[in-house]
Structure 1
Amino acid sequence: MPELPPGRSPESGAEPHHHPHGHPHDQVLVEEYARHLAAERNLSEHTVRAYSSDAAELLRHARNAVGAESPLDDLLTLAVLRSWLASMSTAGQARASLARRAASARALSRWLYRTERLTTDPGARLQAPKRGRPLPGVLRQDQAGRALAEAASVVENGVPESGSGTLKIDPNDPILVRDLALLELLYATGVRVGELVSLDVDDIDRDRRTIRVLGKGGKERVVPYGVPAATALNSWLDRARPALTSENSGPAAFLGKRGGRVNQRQVRQVVHQALERVNDAPSLGPHGLRHSAATHLLDGGADLRSVQELLGHATLTTTQLYTHVSVDRLRASYRQAHPRA
């Protein structure tokens, strides 16, 4: 990475006057940038917060390196952007983190150039180490089937106390019916856990067996589900949900014990407990069921575009990750079964 001019680094002491909480002009700039990200790019609150924090950090780094009162064109050069990434690499940040920071710097640079605050766009030439994308953990189809069968058995028979004939959990508990519906719907649709907990009763079309979810970037999509999920969901909505409904319930499709909308942490616990009942199943959360649903769809012959639409991926590149999972499985089966593998 190109070096900054001698005597201009933070360590050199060449710029002794720093604003301890960031330059006042930069604070205003970051606030405007955050409004742009939220209003014009429709990014999530989490992403806006992350990109805004990156912008503030980058500007502080630039002023320390170049000069506290330098104009933006001198502050945000390609060399400064690269030195910012280099400082984080030296601090031991992972490649995935560096890739995200580079994307954040490019987004800021592009916005500053488009709004004529910069005369050039240095971020357009900024590169970072390619993000390593580990293959997602997935269940085998038989493991998914056994996990759902166990959950259905719990609904029907309850959970016995270890070593006794008494029941630890009564099969009439509406939470058990809810848990089965959650699991069936997660696996049937491959929706994100955030999309699932945000579901309202009116988002469920029981006649057509579809749900309407609001995905990333505020994009709405309709996702179908199958007969087992429909059976579990109807049982929850007709029989169990009314037993938990309270003044806090509102239109929420899935409720917690106190009648409020179920949260993501509770759903994760449900998935982990369900998979613990399957001896050879990996420890996965709701996103693991999403990965499994996508992989099993592709294994079953679904085309990539359809799976992309179902999962709500913005680009086909993200969906293609699951083809690697399927190919890896095929390769493993080949090595195990073929006499000349």
Structure 2
Amino acid sequence: MESLVRGFIHYLGVERGLADNTLASYRLDLSQYRDFTRAQGLDPVGENGRRAVMAYLLKLKRDGRAPATISRHLAALKSFYRFLLNEQLIGVDPTANLESPRLTQRLPRVLTAAEVEVLLAQPRMGKPGGLRDKAMLELLYATGMRVTELVSLDVEHVNLDHAYVRCFGKGARERIVPVGSLAAHYVAEYLARGRTKLTRGKSTPALFVNQQGHRLTRQGFWKIIKKYARQGKIEKVITPHTLRHSFATHLLENGADLRSVQELLGHADISTTQIYTHLTRARLKEVYDQAHPRA
């Protein structure tokens, strides 16, 4: 089992180009499954593989795991066994025809346009760190990038003359995203007056760096945006993707078509983008209730 999991993870990383965080998630889920089957004396790749899978899913349910968690574990098992079947390492897929638990769709939290303005106004641009933070927040809201994509940017990925940025999403898929004039202005300000002071002469391709001159991490960005949310007295819960969700919702509210928003976000499947149409419909209902005299 151990060598099979290693082969599967290698396949996901090399042939499918999945991100390190995704590989780590697969590795953890499959190691938990391996430990369970070992403790129960079950053979996960033998003739009774179906029994092993069902026993594991039942354990997760008895442990009180959320449907989303069970669904994620099942998805990992499905991918793993499909790989083994394609490699002819097993004759039958024990996860065939197994359905994931029904999930309640949770709408992403978004900021209003006014709240975004408050958030973006918080960084003090008199210091290099403030210039960096202003550039990051403006760029994130202007492009809808994932935070991982933002902190992975190199200087060469940003073309301010033609107002676009090259970013690399899930599966290392590259896409070109336009950058608004305000965001381009603040990125230029950061490059001219902030980045060199933060790098302190160190050579790094990273666009956004921390106080030590190293590439800023996702966790570092999360701390920064939460600080500015508190500073701006924004009461909504802020996550690393809050500006991405707000970007998509505001575009749709202002007339952008769904396919364009899908391209900008880098979603492989338009059904992922459709979640934001629920938000805009909810907003329309709210406006109706507030404005119509007989609502």
Task: Choose the corresponding residue for 1:99, options 71, 90, 100.
Answer: 71
- Does 2:118 match 1:143? no
Which residue number corresponds to residue 40 of structure 1?
15
Which residue number corresponds to residue 72 of structure 1?
45
Q: Matches of 1:88 and 1:261 in 2, distance apart?
A: 38
After superposition, the Cα gap between the structure-2 partners of 1:28 and 1:237, relative to the gap in structure 1 and judged at 3 Å, is same
Q: Shift of the alpha carbon at 1:59?
A: 4.1
**Structure 2 regions of 5+ residues with no counterpart?**
none
8 Å contact from structure 2 (residues 159, 165) kept in 1:
yes
Q: Shift of the alpha carbon at 1:287?
A: 0.8
8 Å contact from structure 2 (residues 154, 205) kept in 1:
yes
Which residue number corresponds to residue 292 of structure 2?
338
8 Å contact from structure 1 (residues 212, 223) kept in 2:
yes
Which residue number corresponds to residue 317 of structure 1?
271
8 Å contact from structure 1 (residues 249, 261) kept in 2:
no
> Which amino acid in the other structure matches residue 51 of structure 1?
Y
Matches within 5 A, 1:166-245: 171=126, 173-245=127-199
Which fold has the larger relative contact order, with Cα–Cα distance below 8 Å and residues 6 or more apart in sequence? 2
Matches within 5 A, 1:290-329: 290-329=244-283
After superposition, the Cα gap between the structure-2 partners of 1:303 and 1:275, relative to the gap in structure 1 and judged at 3 Å, is same
Question: Any idea what the Cα deviations from partners look like across 1:278-302, whole Å, max 9, x if unmatched?
Answer: 3355231331011101110111111
Which residue number corresponds to residue 124 of structure 1?
96
After superposition, the Cα gap between the structure-2 partners of 1:73 and 1:280, relative to the gap in structure 1 and judged at 3 Å, is closer
| Structure 1, 137-146 or 87-96: larger mean CA deviation | 137-146
TM-score (norm 2): 0.93
Q: Shift of the alpha carbon at 1:236?
A: 0.6
TM-align CA RMSD: 2.0
Q: Matches of 2:44 and 2:164 in 1, distance apart?
A: 54
- Does 2:242 match 1:288? yes
Q: Matches of 2:216 and 2:38 in 1, distance apart?
A: 46
Which residue number corresponds to residue 30 of structure 2?
55
Q: Shift of the alpha carbon at 1:270?
A: 2.2
Which residue number corresponds to residue 258 of structure 1?
212
Number of residue pairs matched by the alignment:
295
Q: Shift of the alpha carbon at 1:218?
A: 0.7
Q: Shift of the alpha carbon at 1:39?
A: 1.7
Q: Matches of 1:31 and 1:138 in 2, distance apart?
A: 39
After superposition, the Cα gap between the structure-2 partners of 1:82 and 1:244, relative to the gap in structure 1 and judged at 3 Å, is same
Q: Shift of the alpha carbon at 1:47?
A: 2.1
Q: Matches of 2:162 and 2:119 in 1, distance apart?
A: 26
Q: Matches of 2:111 and 2:230 in 1, distance apart?
A: 13
Task: Choose the corresponding residue for 1:133, options 101, 105, 109.
Answer: 105
Q: Matches of 2:31 and 2:206 in 1, distance apart?
A: 38
Return the index of the structure with the highest Cα Rg. 1
Q: Matches of 1:115 and 1:44 in 2, distance apart?
A: 22
Secondary structure at the aligned position of 1:51 is classed as helix
Which residue number corresponds to residue 61 of structure 2?
89
Which residue number corresponds to residue 2 of structure 2?
27
- Does 2:228 match 1:274? yes
Which residue number corresponds to residue 7 of structure 1?
none
